């Protein structure tokens, strides 16, 4: 445990941020998995709705700094390619 009062405050802030980041990353992974399952089932309508949610969560994660903006662009590009491949 830290001895300095400011260090004690930092520990509390870090704990709250870690829980917030953990839940946001979990939400991101869940939305991506839902999209993947919709694509693997071949359900176009479910894939389109899951795509919108997944892109939104990826953008939110990038804006919050959970993932890098280039990583977000890479993920969105892959999602779009899978969705377009489903149409064929």
DSSP secondary structure code for residue 88 in this structure: -
Is 68 in contact with 29 (CB distance < 8 Å)?
Answer: no
pLDDT by 10s per residue, the chain, length 88:
889 999 999 999 999 999 999 999 999 999 999 999 999 998 899 999 999 999 999 999 999 999 999 999 999 999 999 999 986 6
Q: What CATH class has 5-87?
A: mainly alpha
* φ, ψ for residue 68, nearest 5 deg: -70, 150
- Sequence spans of domains, the chain: 5-87
Is 83 in contact with 51 (CB distance < 8 Å)?
Answer: yes
Q: What is the pTM of this model?
A: 0.85
- CA–CA gap between residue 58 and residue 66 (Å, rounded): 9
């Amino acid at each position: 445990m830290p001895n300095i009062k400011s260090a004690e405050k930092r520990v509390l802030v870090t704990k709250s941020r870690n829980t917030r980041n953990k839940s946001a990353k979990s939400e991101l992974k869940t939305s991506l998995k839902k999209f993947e399952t919709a694509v693997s089932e071949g359900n176009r309508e479910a894939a389109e709705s899951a795509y919108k949610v997944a892109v939104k969560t990826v953008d939110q994660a990038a804006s919050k700094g959970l993932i890098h903006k280039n990583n977000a662009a890479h993920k969105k590009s892959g999602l779009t390619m899978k969705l377009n491949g489903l149409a064929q």
